[in-house]
Amino acid sequence: MDDEVGAAGGLIRLTFLVQGVYAEVGRDCDLTAAQAQMLCSVADRSVGMAELSAVLGLEKSSVTGLVDRAEQRGLVLREQDPSDRRAVRVSLTPAGRRALTKFRAEVTARLDEVLDALPATERERFTRTVRRIVADVPAVFAD
Amino acid sequence: MDDEVGAAGGLIRLTFLVQGVYAEVGRDCDLTAAQAQMLCSVADRSVGMAELSAVLGLEKSSVTGLVDRAEQRGLVLREQDPSDRRAVRVSLTPAGRRALTKFRAEVTARLDEVLDALPATERERFTRTVRRIVADVPAVFAD
DNA sequence: TATTGTTATACTCTATAACTATA
DNA sequence: TATAGTTATAGAGTATAACAATA
């Protein structure tokens, strides 16, 4: 009766699996899940706090703390927005870029490994369906 | 180029989607994700702290805190293990059972809703593949 | 007035280390 | 000695509310 996993239960276990990979790789790269998320959202751009707040689904004050800690660790940089004196632009430092690159590569490799265990046709169908389901979910982890 | 979601990226977005559902429903039921997880792991049994620690993948001391707060909120109960005077058995109170039932029902309904948006054949294939992938992941969310 | 961002505060979650009591 | 669990402590993450500066 443990085999009797409902569809929803399966999705939840899958989420656990992915979260586990995230946490493990994060440990390797010395990033928490929240930090990794944030670095992914900044990536190669320069982002305002309000936008980060929206993308990450966190309160502005939470983002302030997240960016504070990442800045102290030398992963990101705050710069004044030249066109709006209230605003701040967050971008990655070289160290932040390195950490993000490593994190993304390892997460991708690990998840691809999971998918590669499937027969080719099944894998392709599965991936296509996943894409369809998440079409509306914001791309925090852009490729 | 936002359509160019790699297979791994898709999985990650899917995880976000499920985590979002978890968080939202949790808010409805006044449960944090960690608490919901813990209640799911206790369910209809009576569980030792060490076992909870193993199932949830948390340090013993973390579980102590988790159970403390849930106990203060009247969701779980600590009882002495009659056969081992060091040990403790954790079980749900009626309120805890109610919260868990509501949580599980709502999460399941929300996720089923997502899946129901798919054509029947695709949905069945997808669910089958998910089951295959997670065959080895512990069932925290038993049906 | 609305928006951008920060500060102050409080709570949850988590880990590490040291400890008690029992096996 | 090993196991079950707690306490003390510290840090990350998050939210709410109040605030300052700028638009």
Statement: residue A3 has pLDDT above 80: no
CA dist., res. B15 & res. B9, Å (int): 10
* pLDDT bracket for residue B6 (50, 70, 90): confident
Per cent of chain A over pLDDT 70 is: 92
CA dist., res. B75 & res. B102, Å (int): 13
- What lies within 8 Å, CB to CB, of A100 at 6+ separation is A36, A39, A40, A43, A92
Å between CA of A50 and C1' of C3:
9
Query: Residues 84 to 123 of A: which have CB under 8 A from any B CB?
Result: 107-108, 111-112, 114-115, 117-118, 122-123
CA dist., res. A115 & res. B12, Å (int): 13
Per cent of chain B over pLDDT 90 is: 81
Q: Is the CB of B69 under 7 A from strand C?
A: yes
Looking at residue A138, its pLDDT comes to 58
Give the number of C-alpha atoms closer than 13 A to the C-alpha of residue B88, restricted to the C-beta side: 15
Q: Average pLDDT for residues A42-48, to the nearest whole number?
A: 97
* pLDDT bracket for residue B1 (50, 70, 90): very low
Looking at residue A141, its pLDDT comes to 54
Q: Average pLDDT for residues B26-44, to the nearest whole number?
A: 95
Statement: residue B56 has pLDDT above 70: yes
Statement: residue B4 has pLDDT above 60: no
CA dist., res. A7 & res. B107, Å (int): 11
Statement: residue B80 has pLDDT above 70: yes
Distance from CA of A42 to the nearest CA of B (A): 15
Looking at residue A5, its pLDDT comes to 74
Closest to B10 measured CA to CA, from A38, A7, A132, A101? A132
Range 20-79, chain B: CB under 7 Å to any strand D atom: 48-51, 60-61, 63-65, 67-68, 78
B53 vs B24, more confident: B53
- Residue B27 in contact with partner chain A when CB distance is under 8 A: no
Across the interface, do A133 and B16 touch by the CB < 8 Å criterion? no
Looking at residue B137, its pLDDT comes to 62
How far apart, in Å, are the Cα atoms of A133 and each of A62, B11, B24, B98?
A: 29, 10, 18, 31
Looking at residue A2, its pLDDT comes to 43
Indicate the Cα dihedral angle B135, B138, B142, B143, nearest 10°: 0
B72 vs B143, more confident: B72
